[in-house]
Amino acid sequence: MELSRATDKFLDFLLNEKNFSKHTLSAYSRDINDFIEYLDEEDIQVEDIDFFLLRGFVAACYEKGLSSSTIERKISTLKSFYKFLVMRKIIENNTAKPLKFPKKEQKSFNVFNIDDLLNLLEAPDKSTPSGLRDCLILELMYATGVRVSELAATELTDIDFSGRRLRVMGKGKKERIIPLSDFHIDLIQKYSAVKNKIPKNRDIQTNKLLINKLGTALTDRSIRRIVDKYLKICGLPATFSPHDFRHSFATHMLENGADLRTIQELLGHSSLSTTQKYTHMNLSEILKIYDKTHPKSK
């Protein structure tokens, strides 16, 4: 079967049987088209493509300087494509099975020190409705460790004022509950009482907690811009990002005695191994704990 025809069948399978989104389909299509372009043969048959051609494509991706995550996605697309081909008996052997994913890059992240963090939280002008909103954004990101997308999706009905809890719908529609302090409940109530003053000549059109000057919900991008604005105001390095509030939330909890399982639940990680990246305690902290707890440390 021609590769182009097999590709059409694969994409049709993803759309109609796997119910993949248009965005995901577009990514799969783009990856396979890149492979077809690499082969430089319009009418090539699927059964004529051997492992060495597949490996050559991956090598070409490295030579182009593509990131490890992009190469990993392209390999994953090829593996899924070839599983489909075997499942539909278009080919007998899964030629893509031996392909190796790139080694995982150890991502570094920033953690705010307490002084910088306090300055950051105090930066917005809380005497104005928009400043109060910005303060709430910064406070909630650090107090709860939520992702920017999760914060943008938060509605007033997600907040249990009497129980002081926030309901968050995370990745994979996995729900988690995060406790809130009296301070943050009070801040939410103060903002909610004045947030209708932010829109200019327009009624509020959304149930979302955070709104823009038009009265509609703040988007992920808008929240990122707001956070970046205060990072710049406070003179923090350009390497800091909104996601570092989440890193700081987890790191500071760990340093103050929280166990990994609790942090895992609060962050919404499906695997404990993902949370373990926060065990990057420095040597002096390790030595202090050793001196305090080990019977032979004296």
Out of 184, 195, 246, 252, pick the active-site residue: 246
Out of 171, 213, 221, 232, pick the active-site residue: 171
Tokens of residue 248, six digits: 């700081």
**Whole-angstrom Cα distance, residue 252 to residue 250?**
6
Out of 133, 208, 247, 269, pick the active-site residue: 269
Q: Sheet with 165-169: list strands edge to edge.
A: 159-160, 165-169, 175-179
**Whole-angstrom Cα distance, residue 148 to residue 222?**
10
Residue of 147, 153, 46 lying closest to 93 (CA atoms):
46
Out of 79, 167, 190, 243, pick the active-site residue: 243
Phi and psi dihedrals of 159, rounded to 5?
-105, 125
Tell me which amino acid residue 41 is.
Answer: E
Tokens of residue 178, six digits: 């995060």
The answer to whether residue 269 is catalytic is yes
Out of 74, 133, 147, 247, pick the active-site residue: 147
**What are all long-range contacts of 89-96, with beta carbons under 8 Å and residues at least 24 apart?**
90/1, 90/6, 90/9, 90/46, 91/46, 91/47, 95/49, 95/50, 95/51, 95/54, 96/51, 96/54
The answer to whether residue 171 is catalytic is yes
Three-state SS annotation for 190-243: HHHHHHHHCCCCCCCCCCECCECCCCCECCHHHHHHHHHHHHHHCCCCCCCCCC
Out of 28, 191, 230, 278, pick the active-site residue: 278
The answer to whether residue 280 is catalytic is no
The answer to whether residue 243 is catalytic is yes
Which residue numbers are catalytic?
A: 147, 171, 243, 246, 269, 278
